[in-house]
Amino acid sequence: MTTSTIEALAMTTETPVLNSEQNRRARIERRQAVIMPTMAIVIALLVWEGLVRYYEVPHYVIPAPSLIAQTLVKDWSSLMSSMMFTVRLTMLSLACAIAGGVLLGMIFALSRTVEMSFFPFAVILQVTPVVAIAPLILIYVRDTFTALLICAWIVAFFPILSNTVIGLRSADHNLRDLFKLYRATPLQRLRFLLAPSALPYFMAALKIAGGLALIGAVVAEFVAGTAGQNTGLASRILESSFRNEIPRMFAALFLVSVLGIVIFLATSWLSRLVLGRWHESEIRRET
């Protein structure tokens, strides 16, 4: 038996062991990713509960987590309807930001003239606080939901646009020349060269824009709430602060936080799903 044959047999016998060891480590890492944050949250809640009870802090100053949970159960119907309003507003604004940002980003990437003409307007929308724009939009747009949608869209739009432009222009110039050499159609260049190049940038922007869409929705709801409009979770927070119902305010704030975490986890999962098999940012390697 030759040396190469022995080495081949050794490799075939060691591969299952290595694969099983890698799978075991991956399972442990997945469990730790869930267990460790859960333990930290539980410990923080227990410390919070203990300190409030030990120092007898009034519930109108800082309510205990147990009281917040009771309020969440008691007012679940009203809080849930408000949360669904915020969810719908956030998802629609994010969808509009994706559609507008990708489309305009493709136009900017194809034409420097168009970019130089219109990109300053996108920057103006980005740097102007939505709190300053929201009252004007609520005056000019009669439908409250449409006005809130515009406010949330303004906040989430710019990261999608900026990263799409950068991603489309980051394609390797040698590959661009190769596609020209083989006379690839514009659709083929977009599908096989530009889109794969821009996809990691777009997924990174999606993680940012998801949270910004929620922030924009909540801020717009606050402005609408001060104008007497009954909207989503921000209206419940504002209403509870006026009535000095601090536990209810914390319950609504808890739902906003949960919604933000869900959006981040969903966009992170989507990024791993899309990029996990081919892009370095999402490929998990053994250390």
Entry pTM: 0.86
65-275 CATH, one of 3.40.718.10, 1.10.3720.10, 3.30.160.270, 3.40.50.1980: 1.10.3720.10
Residues 125-153 have a mean pLDDT of 91
Residues 259-284 have a mean pLDDT of 87
| Whether pLDDT at 148 is above 60 | yes
9 pLDDT tier (thresholds 50, 70, 90): very low
User: pLDDT by residue (tens digit) across 24-69?
Assistant: 777 788 788 889 989 999 999 999 999 999 999 999 899 999 999 9
Which position has the token pair 């159960």? 73
% of residues, the chain, pLDDT over 70: 90
Q: What is the reported pLDDT for 28?
A: 82
User: pLDDT by residue (tens digit) across 184-196?
Assistant: 888 888 889 999 9
Q: What's the token pair of residue 237?
A: 């927070």
Provide the mean pLDDT of the chain.
87
User: pLDDT by residue (tens digit) across 254-271?
Assistant: 999 999 999 999 999 999
Distances (CA, A) of 238 to 81, 123, 137, 258: 16, 31, 20, 18
Which residue, among 257, 238, 258, has the nearest Cα to 248 in the 3D structure?
238
Torsion of CA 63, 66, 68, 70, to 10 degrees: -130
Q: How far apart are CA 231 and CA 86, in angstroms?
A: 8
User: In which element (H, E) is residue 102 found?
Assistant: helix 76-110
| H helices present in 111-172, as ranges | 112-127, 130-140, 144-169
DSSP state of 57: -
Q: What is the reported pLDDT for 13?
A: 40
Q: What is the reported pLDDT for 252?
A: 95
19 pLDDT tier (thresholds 50, 70, 90): low
User: What are the phi and psi torsion angles at 201 (to 5°)?
Assistant: -65, -40
Q: What's the token pair of residue 106?
A: 């493709």
| Whether pLDDT at 287 is above 90 | no
DSSP states of 196-246 as a string? HHHHHHHHHHHHHHHHHHHHHHHHHHHHHHHTT---SHHHHHHHHHHTT-H
Q: What is the reported pLDDT for 32?
A: 83
Name the residue ranges covered by the structural domains of the chain.
1-56, 65-275
DSSP state of 194: I
Which position has the token pair 């990174």? 204
Q: What is the reported pLDDT for 277?
A: 81
Q: What is the reported pLDDT for 24?
A: 79
| Whether pLDDT at 1 is above 50 | no
Distances (CA, A) of 246 to 8, 54, 208, 280: 69, 19, 30, 46
| Whether pLDDT at 104 is above 80 | yes
286 pLDDT tier (thresholds 50, 70, 90): low
User: pLDDT by residue (tens digit) across 190-232?
Assistant: 889 999 999 999 999 999 999 999 999 999 998 887 766 777 9
Q: What's the token pair of residue 73?
A: 């159960």
